Structure 1
């Protein structure tokens, strides 16, 4: 049993595919700068459970934090495979979820970043031109990097802080999940021992008569 995780019982191939498809459908919602991730994961869990019921799977249900943890693991595997695909071409990747994930994540990350940069530089240049309408536009280029420098650090610090908080929450959720599963296992074991003891005492009393 060493190295075994309870979550492995939940994530059958079918449940994993439902998670991948649901999370990819909602990728834009997760990419919003201001969004309640916890709420979004609750929606993901609801959708995955609904799809499992549609597939007549009734003995498996997933929780929001379990979807979140599983997706993080899958994202790590996806990134490793994406690196491999860059070096050795996509045909060298045999992970079954790679194609579906790469179609959404491979494109969207690069495109979103490019669009965001274009939008930012566009608005900065536009603002600079508008504010200096009656003066030569020569002073604007130095102003753009300066604006970028002053605008960036607070965002980076905030991003780092948010990531650290998310990591703490993730660790806490993982710990909580393990504790819950342990308690459940202990209770089941206690019940089994109690019922066995009862059977033995009944058997002994029968033998005694």
Structure 2
């Protein structure tokens, strides 16, 4: 079914709101019912909601129709919370509106690339470019990596990166010996002192024994000498 949609988007050259008629065909679009009018408030709600789910749209784990239903429900809830109680946004309306805005964004992105960002006056551009511009740069870098020799080698698992061996920081030099070395030195000195004391005591015992032996010999000699005159007189 063909439908005529009136959008309130600005052109790629300025920020003026000029109605634009877009002819769309969507088999899921109902045949009856009033067409949703995208106000500035509703458009901002769509932009913020869709950009917040950009990673889910890039790597979807379900059909994108389900994602657009989530976007539509979020936009509807936000608009009703803001006071528009009779508003209901459909998933296909969000999808078509975003496609139109995406086309306008791409034109402005090319203009900004050629003439600079100051040449773009579309009020949604910077908000969309902060998310979509980064995504496009990451995608281009990934394609460049996959297309090069390095990317092919990594994909084929034939490339083993050799990482440099980290150098260990050298321990700071200190003139003072470690505590355990000092303790060992003191123990050795104490053992030497004890050994010297034992040797001294042994020498003193030897001297005392020699003195005792000398006194015993002297006493024995005196006794023998005193007995000799008595025997000669008898």
Q: Give the TM interval when normalised to the shorter protein.
A: 0.5 to 0.7
- Residue aligning to 1:124: 152
Query: Is the CA contact (8 Å cut-off) linking 1:29 and 1:35 kept in structure 2?
Result: no
Q: 1:64 to 1:56 in 2, by over 3 A?
A: same
For residues 98 and 58 of structure 2, what CA distance do their matches in structure 1 show? 15
Question: With structure 1 as the length reference, what TM-score do the two structures score?
Answer: 0.54
For residues 19 and 87 of structure 1, what CA distance do their matches in structure 2 show? 28
- Residue aligning to 1:29: 56
Where has structure 1 moved over 2 Å in runs of 4 or more? Answer: 3-7, 115-124
Q: How does 1:58-207 map to 2 (within 5 A)?
A: 58-115=85-142, 117-118=144-145, 124-126=152-154, 127-129=156-158
- Residue aligning to 2:40: 13
Secondary structure, counterpart of 2:111 in structure 1? helix
**Cα displacement (A) at 1:32:** 0.9
Bigger fraction of residues in helix: 1
Aligned residues: 128
**Cα displacement (A) at 1:101:** 0.4
For residues 107 and 4 of structure 1, what CA distance do their matches in structure 2 show? 30
For residues 79 and 35 of structure 1, what CA distance do their matches in structure 2 show? 26
**Unmatched 5+ stretches in structure 1:** 131-209
Structure 1 residue 46 and structure 2 residue 73: aligned?
yes
For residues 52 and 33 of structure 1, what CA distance do their matches in structure 2 show? 26
> Could you give the per-residue CA deviations for residues 24-66 of structure 1, whole angstroms, max 9, x where no partner exists?
0000111116641111100000110111111111132210000
**Cα displacement (A) at 1:10:** 2.0
For residues 120 and 4 of structure 1, what CA distance do their matches in structure 2 show? 41
**Cα displacement (A) at 1:125:** 0.9
Secondary structure, counterpart of 2:158 in structure 1? helix
**Cα displacement (A) at 1:120:** 7.4
> Could you give the per-residue CA deviations for residues 174-199 of structure 1, whole angstroms, max 9, x where no partner exists?
xxxxxxxxxxxxxxxxxxxxxxxxxx
**Unmatched 5+ stretches in structure 2:** 7-33, 160-234
What CA RMSD, in Å, does the superposition of the two structures yield over aligned residues?
Answer: 2.5
Bigger fraction of residues in strand: 2
Q: 1:48 to 1:86 in 2, by over 3 A?
A: same
For residues 28 and 69 of structure 1, what CA distance do their matches in structure 2 show? 19
> Could you give the per-residue CA deviations for residues 114-172 of structure 1, whole angstroms, max 9, x where no partner exists?
13553676563133527xxxxxxxxxxxxxxxxxxxxxxxxxxxxxxxxxxxxxxxxxx
- Residue aligning to 1:144: none
Larger Rg: 2
> Could you give the per-residue CA deviations for residues 2-27 of structure 1, whole angstroms, max 9, x where no partner exists?
x77464x5201000000000000000
